Amino acid sequence: ETGVTQTPRHLVMGMTNKKSLKCEQHLGHNAMYWYKQSAKKPLELMFVYSLEERVENNSVPSRFSPECPNSSHLFLHLHTLQPEDSALYLCASSQAVEDTQYFGPGTRLTVL
């Protein structure tokens, strides 16, 4: 059981498609995160939001566009992705940015 949910759990898309990943946290947290987990590489922090404001963008290509409409929801909008973007995308949340992060189950993305 997790307080952080992600949809969809699996996504296959072409390079010209536009899709969005959704994350929702039910923990009353104020900070949310996107991570990328590629095969044989460590988890990489992509974006950090605190109180709906972006506080970190770790040199992520512009084809990934995050959106945080409120403290419970986080989106990752995808467009014109490349096959090397295929990975597991994890969402996390924490009470504040300095607190322990709790992770969702991830979305397995395949780009054809």
Partner 1 sequence: AQSVSQHNHHVILSEAASLELGCNYSYGGTVNLFWYVQYPGQHLQLLLKYFSGDPLVKGIKGFEAEFIKSKFSFNLRKPSVQWSDTAEYFCAVSPSGAGSYQLTFGKGTKLSVIP
Binding site for partner 1 (CB under 8 A): 2, 4, 31, 33, 40-43, 45, 48, 55-56, 90, 94, 97-98, 100-106
> Closest distance between partner 1 and the C-beta of residue 103, in Å?
4
> Closest distance between partner 1 and the C-beta of residue 20, in Å?
20
First to last CA, the chain: 32
Nearer to partner 1, 15 or 56 (CB): 56
Q: Is the peptide bond before 8 cis (omega within 30 degrees of 0)?
A: yes
* Contact (Cβ atoms closer than 8 angstroms) between residue 72 and residue 18: no
